[in-house]
Copies of this chain bind each other. A is one copy, B any other.
Amino acid sequence: MSSFGRVFRVTTFGESHCKAVGCVIDGCPPRLPLGDDDIQAQLSRRRPGQSSLTTSRDEPDGVTILSGTERGVTLGTPIALSVANEDQRPSDYAAMQAIPRPSHADYTYQAKYGVRASSGGGRASARETIGRVAAGAVAEKWLRLAYGIEIVAWVSSVGAVAMPSAVATLNTWTREQVDVNAVRCPDQATAERMAALIAECRDQSDSIGGVVSCVCRNVPVGLGEPVFDKLEAMLAQAMMSIPATKGFEIGSGFAGTEQRGSAHNDPFVLRPDGSSTLGTKTNKSGGVQGGISNGESIYFRVAFKPPATIGLPQTTAAFDGHETILEAKGRHDPCVVPRAVPIVEAMAALVLIEYVPLNQEKKEKR
């Protein structure tokens, strides 16, 4: 299904070449100040054509609020958001109808549905993420106003080019620092090497993978659920639902499996802020214990594979089974992680808002 969340429920719609893509948000609290600008900022960070490192499909991706607000505030009713599809070149894709692109969704969609959009990725297109980013921007605004929660993601590796561990673990990045370069890696020296690698892959009609890191700050203690809906489990679902993801880890992650408990445990300490609450000396847990937030920063990493659509010729089988050579046309990103940054942030916001009491309703005893 195309819905996420039980409380702040987002349903996205739209294929790569239909009239519009967007979403409906059901459950947004009332009385939240909300205008197009609140949503557009993140959409513009996601949109194609931002730099020479991304796809040349150029879309303004301007959002329209169809319902759910009046006089600049939310009404507590469903918020429908719509973004027109403008730059359509279905003919680019016509040749690919007979040949499922390797590691793309053509084959599995056909198997599941018995039909698929004739052009581009259809519903598997990255354009589906527009609805996510739009909804995430609304969630994020509410979380920021209500709790001061900050969510910042950045590119921590492209191919084998990774941020040095000393800077990679910093917890103070802002979106402004992340956006100083087109790669969205806040360490400038690393960013330059990443950009060079992406440009190289682009020029070779190839693609490359990468990792996006994300931190959520000022998350209150006690958010989460103890069993199937653990906070880290829902973050994992949310992130692994983003196209092209292959892995998720929180806190110490896979590296933590090599440690001993005596080194890995996060001892409690009295917070120095006079709040009489406990914090932890280290944060191997990544801000979550037993599925519930402990008040420390939540940080996690998401693995993105190299984009499946490449310009290089590929030997593969057509739907009818005969071996052929596929040469993809169309426009595509040589590396998705720069544009994935706002998508990761959006999904993080959509997870967190599920666990926060929304105070949506004023209920008074008689």
Contact = CB atoms under 8 A, between A and B. Distances in A.
A11 interface: yes
A150 interface: no
Contact of A222 (B112, B237, B253, B312): B112
A102 B265 contact: yes
Q: Which 9 A-B residue pairings sit nearest by Cβ, starting from the closest? A: A105-B290, A247-B249, A207-B261, A209-B257, A108-B292, A237-B237, A261-B306, A236-B236, A13-B78
Contact of A76 (B82, B112, B270): B112
A265 B310 contact: yes
B1 A71 contact: no
Interface in A59-100: 64-71, 73, 75-80, 82, 100
A64 B232 CA distance: 32
A220 B357 CA distance: 19
Interface residues of A, number: 160
Interface stretch (A20-28, A39-47, A173-181): A20-28
A9 B3 contact: yes
Interface string A220-235: 1111111111101111
A305 B11 CA distance: 33
Contacts of A66: 13-14, 18-20, 22, 82
Interface centre among A227, A280, A295 (most CB of B within 10 A): A227
Given A6-B6, A31-B115, A366-B275, A224 B77 contact: no
